[in-house]
Homo-oligomer: A and B are copies of this chain.
Amino acid sequence: MSADPSEPIWNRPEPGARGASLSRDKIAEAALNIADTEGFEAVSMRRLASDLDVGTMTLYHYVRSKRELLGLMEDGIMGELLVPDDELPDDWREALTELAVRTYEVFRRHSWALQALRGNEENGPNGMRHFEQSLAVTSRLGLDGREQLELITLVDDYTLGVVQRQADADAFADAAETFIEQIPDGVLEYFDALVESGEFPNIAGLAGSDDPLDTIRLLGSVFFDENRFRRGLERLLDGIEADLSRRSRSRRGARSPRASQGRSQRQGSGRRAARTPRG
């Protein structure tokens, strides 16, 4: 009955009827601890069990596979994404910003998490709540379901894209200042030689200096810039807002969403070029 192998972990009752020494929560917490302090690759079943003072195989009584463990960890993180309902602004743009910033900050705290999260489409309860919360924002915009989903994934994809790049930078160096120091000498020499070859004029001139390594320093400072995310988010939301108001304008008669209440949108760009994608 509960032995159905396709049953997701969220449907199976947690062990513990008799005196169980562990719980899924405790396991997930310990795993998150390891990942946060020593990196995701340090999370192995043996290591986790040893932290919990248990035999390795004991874990498999609470979890069917390591994938399921990762699912538990993921849902824990999704929980951090939740915004208390009374803190979610009424204005759609502010609300989306709040959600995106929170997503950014959470995944920045657990910079290993994007990798772990990949590949299990089973949303846990917290994942569902986060999804619901996102929809609660977009549902006020007068969009149909598909358009709402597209809007959410649009902002999400951008956010996770930035997070991933910064996670990569994190995995490589501690900070912008030490970025260049942590690059092996040989790599720097290689880069230097290529730039000096004259085949990369734009790379060479980028930092406005004659030291090619200044380009790398500049790169490091951009990768680690914590405000870059917000600036890009504003650009994206500008584009979305323009599209929304353009759309609601053309759809006259219907109850128009309070898309823009004279917010920072002052551009009204008429430049709507006929753009042929693809040639």
Contact = CB atoms under 8 A, between A and B. Distances in A.
A104 to B, nearest CB: 11
Interface stretch (A2-10, A28-36, A52-60): A2-10
A126 to B, nearest CB: 12
Tier of interface size on chain A: 35 or more
Given A149-B222, A267-B234, A128 B194 contact: yes
B146 A203 contact: no
B146 A183 contact: no
Given A129-B200, A139-B202, A154-B235, 20 more contacts: A89-B275, A89-B278, A91-B278, A98-B275, A118-B168, A123-B191, A131-B200, A132-B202, A139-B205, A144-B208, A146-B218, A146-B221, A150-B231, A160-B165, A234-B275, A238-B243, A246-B267, A263-B266, A264-B265, A264-B266
A146 B90 contact: no
B131 A11 contact: no
24 contacts: A7-B184, A8-B190, A10-B190, A11-B186, A89-B277, A91-B278, A101-B278, A105-B271, A118-B164, A119-B168, A122-B187, A132-B201, A132-B202, A132-B203, A150-B222, A150-B225, A153-B223, A158-B161, A158-B232, A160-B165, A161-B161, A161-B162, A238-B269, A245-B267
Question: How many copies of the polypeptide does the oligomer hold?
Answer: 2
A42 interface: no
Contact of A157 (B132, B158, B265): B158
Contacts of A207: 145
Contact of A277 (B153, B208, B221, B230): B230
